[in-house]
Structure 1
Amino acid sequence: MNYERNKIELEENGFSVLADLYSDKEISGIIACIENAEQDGNSFMKTKDLFAIRQLIKNVPELSDLLFNEKLIELISELSESEYFLTKAIYFDKPRESNWFVAYHQDLSISVDQKTELENYTNWTFKKGQYGVQPPIEVLEDTITIRIHLDKTDKNNGALKVIPKSHLKGIIRAESKDWNLENEFICEVEKGGAMLMKPLTLHASNRTTNGKKRRVIHLEFNKHNLTKPLNWLEHYGIKKPAHNNV
């Protein structure tokens, strides 16, 4: 597979969509693995509007080999020449009856192992038993988000809307109108496909209106070590792609 187009789109526009990252059989295996997991503890959140699993690899370790198939490993390798590692893994299930939307925002928080006062680390939070913090901007700029779609997702069941190139403007205040909604793009993704995104890209999602599920595995990758003594809450190395000499 050649992901050069996706790499260019991600850098220039802040997002890219690709199909066929996983086969139907692979998606079925991923869904079965999640459904068979023990669902208790802080990391599992279940309401009528949302089912989410935080620290997904820690809580469902069997998923690791299913997610990191040859295509995903190849994709990450081609997106950057640096050594990237996984820093966040969350499973989201937006159920059929879910009726909420998410306004435009940037993903500005990372999950870390402790709270400590450090320069350029701001806006601390503590939710569901884990610390979040806004890190130095270069950490956010170098984050690669890969959203794996377990269902076909379109404008009727919560596909993400994005503002192309908004990641190039740095951190945008919530009340700012420093973007042009006329440029809004809806990222429709096939089942087994993925959406790539920079966290500083302004993104939002609408309510589900067609009664269909939208199950997504949200993965974030980075190459930076954090300022000591701070560490990423999640840190998983990535296998090298197995290149065939054919």
Structure 2
Amino acid sequence: MDPVRYRILGTTQALRPDGTPVPVGGARLRALLTVLALRPGRTVPASLLVDEVWGVDTPADATGALQALVGRLRRVLGADAITSAESGYRLAVAPDDIDLHRFERLTGEGLRALADGNPAKAAEALDDALALWSGPALADLPDRTAEAARWETRHLDARRARLTAAVSLGEADTALPELTALCDTHPLDEPLQSLRLQALRATGRTAEALAAYEDVRQLLADRLGSDPGPELRALHGELLSVAP
């Protein structure tokens, strides 16, 4: 019963080849699968597994507790799903069979296509990447703050790139609601703010774009004591040149 897909972008899940979920019950069991899935095909030291699965609540017999937990996970996933090494355990799976690693591959493809001037190809790859998210990254990892923050940042990169592709493809009007919401959530993200101004300009809303620039300029001054960067300033100059 070897599942071929694992999900850790949201609640941790294991999926059979036909797509039906394999019941992975228990918070510790899901945490163990999450830690292993973060490092597919690599041996994860037992000490690291104990630290990340139990955190400060390390059991007295940590080695025995880990062995028991691995045994339970093998009964769920299949005996060959997790292999043992002298120093730890390894999830026997290809990186692309885990949503997080597939997301990273597809995002990389999308960003490269965007840089190469192919927004249509970028949009296709980024749509596939973003569709893999079903909730907060690594939701079942007990201490997820630092690792999850890295992937949430990458998620934002993918969303920004997808919106950039949309504007390039003449879909600025469709992209504006999500773009505006993202700017409200990340008000100091200058590339995102610049993209919103471009989308407003593309839809003929130059006056709104100029007002939005002033809001961003004031926000940067108040919070950071700085002026907008070169990209935003250049865009502002372009907006002034076409403003009625």
TM-score, with structure 1 as normaliser: 0.22
| More strand by percentage | 1
Pair member with larger Rg: 2
Q: Which has the higher contact order (CA 8 A, sep 6+)?
A: 1
| More helix by percentage | 2
TM-score, with structure 2 as normaliser: 0.22
